[in-house]
Chain A
Amino acid sequence: MWIKGGRVIDPATKKDAVADIEIEGGIIKDIRQSAKAAKKSECIDATGKWIIPGLIDMHVHFREPGFEYKEDILSGSMAAAAGGITTAVCMANTRPVNDNPSVTGHIMKKVSDAGIIRVLPVGAATKNMEGRELSEMGLMKKAGIVAVSDDGNPIESAAMMRRAMQYASTFGLILMSHCQDRTLSGKGVMNEGRLSSRLGLPGIPNIAEDVMVARDIMISAELGIPVHITHVSTHGSISAVRDAKKSGVPVTCDVTPHNLLLTEERVRTYDTNAKMYPPLRSEADRQALIDCLKNGTVDCIATDHAPHAKDEKDLDFDLAPFGVTGLQTLLPAILKLHYDCRIPLMNILAMVTINPARILGIEGGRIDKGGRADIAIVDPKAEWTLTEDMLVSKSKNSPFIGWKFKGRVTTTIAAGKVVYKA
C-alpha cells in the first residue's frame, strides 16, 4: 500500500516534509521523497493532507468485561479509529477488575477478535483495586499489560503506594496514579469555589489532587522509580510536577483535552456531560496547564475516555456518574490548542504519539522505516461541527457536542490496514 503526496509530520524523527510512504506486512517499508511512486498495489492520495503517526491515547475506559452496555472493546476500538487513534491504553476498572492474568487474557482475546486497533490493557495495581494487596503484576505483564493503576480507586495508603511502585518497576511497569484524596474530595461533584457554592453543588477542592501529587512525587523521588500522574488538573499539581522534573524526579504526567479547553463555567447549566473526575477547574488552573503544555512539563495528552449510558447521565448532577467521552475529539482538540495557544505542531503531536510510547515502553508512535504502520491522515482544512450522530462510541457523553473544530481525521491505518475512512 502507498500513501502518496502527503505532508509527513513525525515528532519522533522530527520529519516534516512531503513524502510517499510504502507499507507492507503491517510495517512501514519505505519513505521516499514524493516523486512518481510506483503504480503497483493500492494507493491513497494524500495530497494536501497531513500524515501523522497513529495517535496513542494512554488513558481510556473500554468497559469490557462487565459494562458492555456503555462500551465494549469493539465499539471503543471503532471510535478510536475514527479519531485517528491506533493505540488505546485501557484502564482496569472493569467487572471483574483486570487484576489477574486471566482477565488480561480475556481482554487481549477480545482485542484480537475486534482486530481494529491495538488496545493495551493496564492492570490493577492492587487486587480488586482495593489498595490492600498487590496484584499479580508479573503474570499480567506476560499476558499483555503495559502499566499498572488503580485509577479511579486511588491508593490511599502511602505505604501501599510505595510498595506498588517498587513492585511494578521490578517488571518494568510504570504506575499511573490518579491523584485524589477522597477524604478531601468527599461528596464533591464539581470544582470547589464560588461557582459550586452559587450552584448549590458540593465542591471538590484543588487540594484533594495536590496533596496526592505531592505524596507520589516524594515517593518516586525517594525510590528513584518513575511514576506517571494521570489527568493533572490544577495549577498546584502541575507546578509540583514541573518543580519535581527540574530537580530530576522521574515523574511524567498527562492532561485531558477537556481540562485544557473547558472550565467549571461549563457546569453552570448543570449539564452532566460536564461532570468528570478531576472536575473542570477554574480559568487560572486551565491557564497553568496551558503554560505547562508550552514549557514541556506536560508529557502527554490523554482523553480519559469514560463512556456512560444516556440514562445514567440523565440523573441529577449529584447522582450522575463521573466521566466524558473523548476519542473522536482528541485530535481536533489538540489542533485547537495548536492554533489558539500557538503551540508548535511537533510539540503537541508528540504528546499523543511518541511521548506516551516512551513512557509506557511500547513500540509505535512514530513514522519510521521498519516501524509499525500506524498512521492517521488528517485534512487540516476541514471545518466541521461535532454532532451527537457523528460519535461512534456507544455512549455520547461528550462535552464538546456543538463545538466547531478545524482539522479532521480522514483515514486511519493500524498495523498497515485501513481501519477508518471518513
Chain B
Amino acid sequence: MNWPHKDLIGIADLEAEEITTIFDLAPNFKEISRRDIKKVPTLRGKTVVLIFYEASTRTRLSFEIAAKRLSADTVAISQTGSAFQKGETMMDAAKNIMAMMPDCIVMRYPYAGMLPRLAKELPCSVINAGDGYHEHPTQALLDMYSMREHFGALKGLNVVMVGDIMHSRVARSNVYGLKKMGARVTLVGPKTLMPPGIESWGAAVSTEFDPVIPDADVIMMLRIQKERIAEHLFPGDREYSSFYGLGKARVAMMKKDAVIMHPGPMNRGVEINSDAADSKRAIILDQVENGVAIRMALMYLCLGGSNVD
C-alpha cells in the first residue's frame, strides 16, 4: 500500500482516491471488531499517544479502541482548559512528548493552527481529532463511510446538514469531503450560525429546513451548544427546535430511504427528538461502530502497518 501521508490534519489535504482507499480498507477492520478476539498484530510495538485538551469521551475512546485492536500501546493524556498557557508552550509540550518516541500522536485541541505546525515539526504521525473551528477529519470520514455503506456510493447523494455550521469543524470537514466525493451538500441554519464567506464553500445554503427535507438522502443534525445561546446567537431551545429541530413531523416529510445522522453527543429535545434519534432511519450507532474501523484503517495507513489478518 502506497500511502503518501504521515499525518491527517484535514480532509482538505486528501484526494478523492485517498478517501476511497480508506473506505475500501474499512470493512476488513470492521470485521476484526466483530470477532471474538478483537485484536490483530498490525501495529505491535508501536506507541500511540492520545492527547485530549478538550473533553471528548467518545472520540477518545474510539481512537483508543482502534489503536488497541491493532495491538499498539496507547497512552492517554487529558487536559482540559489551558494549563499550557501558563508557562509551557504547546511546542515545548510536544517536544517533550516527542522525546519519548511515540509513533503517533492523536490530538484534540481547542485552537486551530497548532496541529499543522506539530505535523510539520514532529517526525511521528499526527492525527487531528478535532482542532478549534478548523477540522475534524476522522469524524467526516466515518460519516461519509456510513453514508457510502448505506447507499453504496456517495456520488449524487444529497446531504443536508443542519445547525451550527459556523462553529462546527464536523460540518467543515464533511463539506470538503462530500464535495470531493461528488455529493451535493445543503447547509441549513439561522444566519447567526452561518460562517462568513459560506457562499464560497460550494454548498447550497438555506435558512429554512422544511423545503429541503423531501429531497434529502441524508439529514445530518449538528450538536447545538448551550454557550451559543449565551452568546445570543439564537433565542433559546424552544425557538431553535421549532425551526431547526428534527422531530416526528419532519421525519414524516423525509424520503422513504433517507437516513438520519448525528455526530453525537445528542441534545435530545433540542436539535433532535427521540422520535428521530431512535427511529429506524437513524444510523447514528452505525456511525459510532464505523468510527472504530475508520480510525483503524487510518492508523494502519499512516503508521505503515502490516498483517491485516
Q: Indicate with 1 or 0, residue by residue over A326-347, a CB within 8 angstroms of chain B CB atoms.
A: 0000000000000000000000
Q: Which residues of B contact A311 (CB under 8 A)?
A: 89
Task: Choose one: B112, B116, B166, B196; the contact of A205 (CB below 8 Å).
Answer: B196
Which of the residues B113, B135, B172, B196 comes within 8 Å of A316, measured between beta carbons? B113
> Of all chain B residues, which has the CB nearest A192?
B196
In the complex, which of the residues B89, B114, B134, B200 contacts A199, with contact meaning CB atoms closer than 8 Å? Answer: B134
Residues from chain B with Cβ under 8 Å of A405 in the complex: none
Q: B195 at the A/B interface (Cβ < 8 Å)?
A: yes
B82 to chain A: which residues have CB within 8 Å? 319
- Knowing A315-B90, A318-B132 touch, does A197 contact B111 (C-beta < 8 A)? no
What 0/1 readout, one digit per residue, does chain B (80-117) give for beta carbons within 8 Å of chain A?
A: 00100100011100000000000000000011111011
- Band of interface residues on A: 20 to 34
B-side interface size class:
20 to 34
Chain A residue nearest in CB terms to B194: A197
> Interface code A189-206, partner B: CB below 8 Å = 1, 0 otherwise?
000111111111111010
Given A193-B196, A194-B197, A205-B196: A200 in contact with B89 (beta carbons within 8 A): no
Given A270-B116, A315-B85, A316-B111, A200 and B90 touching (CB < 8 A)? no
Q: Is B151 an interface position by the 8 A CB rule?
A: no
User: Closest approach, in angstroms, between the C-beta of A247 and any C-beta of chain B?
Assistant: 32
B196 & A201 in contact (Cβ 8 Å cutoff):
no
* A359: min CB distance to chain B, Å: 35
**B16 close to A (CB within 8 Å):** no
Q: Which residues of A contact B166 (CB under 8 A)?
A: 197
Q: How far is the CB of A182 from chain B (nearest CB, A)?
A: 14
Which chain A residues lie closer than 8 Å to B116 at the CB level?
Answer: 269-270
Q: Which residue of B lies closest to A196 (CB)?
A: B196
Q: Does A314 count as interface, using CB distance less than 8 angstroms?
A: yes
Q: Taking the complex as formed, is B240 at the interface, i.e. its CB lies under 8 A from any CB of chain A? A: no
CB distance from A116 to the nearest CB of B (A): 33
Whole-angstrom distance between the Cβ of B120 and the nearest chain A Cβ? 9
Q: Establish whether residues A314 and B89, one from each chain, have CB atoms under 8 Å apart when the complex forms.
A: yes
CB of A270 within 8 A of CB of B89, answer no
The 8 A CB mask of B133-149 against A (1 = contact, 0 = none) is 11100000000000000
Q: Does B198 touch A at the CB level, under 8 Å?
A: yes
- The B155-212 residues at the A interface (CB cut-off 8 A) are 166, 169, 172, 195-198, 200
Q: Is A317 an interface residue (CB 8 A)?
A: yes
Q: What A residues does B172 contact at CB under 8 A?
A: 197, 200
Interchain residue pairs with CB less than 8 A apart (5) = A193-B196, A196-B196, A197-B198, A200-B135, A319-B111
Add 19 more A-B contacts to A199-B112, A200-B131 (CB < 8 A): A193-B197, A196-B196, A197-B195, A200-B134, A200-B169, A200-B172, A201-B132, A270-B114, A270-B117, A314-B89, A314-B91, A315-B89, A315-B90, A316-B111, A316-B114, A317-B112, A317-B113, A318-B110, A318-B111
Query: Which B residues fall within an 8 A CB radius of A?
Result: 82, 85, 89-91, 110-114, 116-117, 131-135, 166, 169, 172, 195-198, 200
Q: Which 6 A-B pairs have the closest CB atoms?
A: A200-B134, A194-B197, A270-B113, A200-B112, A200-B133, A197-B195
